[in-house]
Amino acid sequence: MEDRSHKVLLALVMLFLFAVIVLQYVCPGTECQLLRLRALSPAAAADPYRAEDETPARFVPRFNFSAGDLLRRGDFNIKGDDLIVFLHIQKTGGTTFGRHLVRNIQLEQPCECRAGQKKCTCHRPGKRETWLFSRFSTGWSCGLHADWTELTNCVPSVVDSKKEVRLRPSRDRQREQTSIQTSEKNENAAWVPQAAPGARSTAGVKRLLGSAEGENFYYITILRDPVSRYLSEWRHVQRGATWKASLHVCDGRSPTTEELPSCYTGDDWSGCSLQEFMDCPYNLANNRQVRMLSDLSLVGCYNLSVMPEEQRNKVLLDSAKENLKRMAFFGLTEFQRKTQYLFEKTFNMNFISPFTQYNSTRASSVEIDEQTQQRIEALNFLDMELYDYAKDLFLQRYQYMRQKEHQEARRKRQEQRKILRAKQAHLREQGENSS
């Protein structure tokens, strides 16, 4: 009896080994095994991107976008002249995202970040020039929290000036490099506009989609729910933040004190109540996201007398929507994992660690009544409309990219099945010939 059980066990082992050998022959490598393991694993059943937020399983779009608006796969060439430009809007989670860009991306040549220094060196592989224009790589080179109007005029000038330095003879280059290093010791060292009032450079706009020289500027940004962002800015200002170093350059100059009065007297507005914060008619926190994403030169910059308020608001909102849609990428603070996914698909860059969704913030800890909520929404009515538009576009892009990914995976599975069937047919033919 014992000998019989041993024989059965031996037969089962031999059958298993034979099956493994056949599987290795018809499907070499680990692709088939890994595909089956993934399909059987519990992690495959759960969608990590859906679990992060309260998005319904079936998202119903409100706006009509073309396939070109939804497909964002830029041929970003980190070894060439392409440059990612990060437009950092205050209190949108931009600091966290900016750190991801310099510390959390898998690169052939990772950014060099030294302890105690705010800026990292993000050079292209084999070159001494940056592929990233952001607070944590180049500093505030175009001014503290430069907006779309400033960046699209300033970035080409900054990039071209650095190229000129590299092309100069060595002695002049060393002298110029010393000057640059001295100026960059202050992180807030900013671009000084040279254009005459009324002048408008379109270089940055043209390069937004590419240029004849083969140089592309890939503009990106992060948006946030307007009420949460507004409350977060109030808490930040209450603690003493001012952003007084911001230039607000438009059409070659900064606004006058008459065009942009201050909400407070003294060094800062620390300790201000939410009521005081809302009552200031000049508060740049109001509709900040629309203002920083629109082309301010279309409305006479900060001169409110150029056109009626209703017309000005419409022009600003339309401009912000169009610029946002044309950007290479934008993310939403409320959708961290989806933001990570879309960035990775857009630029073909992968992050090392997954993004974390923080639902507990300083803004979320502020309890406001319904009347205050409505007042903040009214003060930020342009931002509210822009965010609805952005959220719809963002989720449509995510849905579109996921569908493309599933279609590609299905196509690969079909190709693997064809190869498997061909090998099985070849084995049967060999068996018949040998018999």
Count the neighbouring beta carbons within 10 Å of the beta carbon of residue 195. Answer: 14
User: Cα–Cα distance between 134 and 101 in angstroms, integer?
Assistant: 9
The three-class DSSP label of residue 220 is strand
User: Cα–Cα distance between 218 and 78 in angstroms, integer?
Assistant: 11
Q: Residues 216, 83: contact at Cβ < 8 Å? A: yes
Q: Residues 94, 228: contact at Cβ < 8 Å? A: no
Under 8 Å CB-to-CB from 157, ≥6 apart: which residues?
191, 194, 201, 203
What are the beta bridge partners of residue 123? 130
Q: Residues 200, 251: contact at Cβ < 8 Å? A: yes
User: Cα–Cα distance between 335 and 60 in angstroms, integer?
Assistant: 17
**What type of residue is 160?**
D
User: Cα–Cα distance between 388 and 378 in angstroms, integer?
Assistant: 15
Catalytic residue among 123, 145, 406, 426: 145
Q: Is 123 a catalytic residue?
A: no
User: Cα–Cα distance between 229 and 223 in angstroms, integer?
Assistant: 9
Catalytic residue set? 145
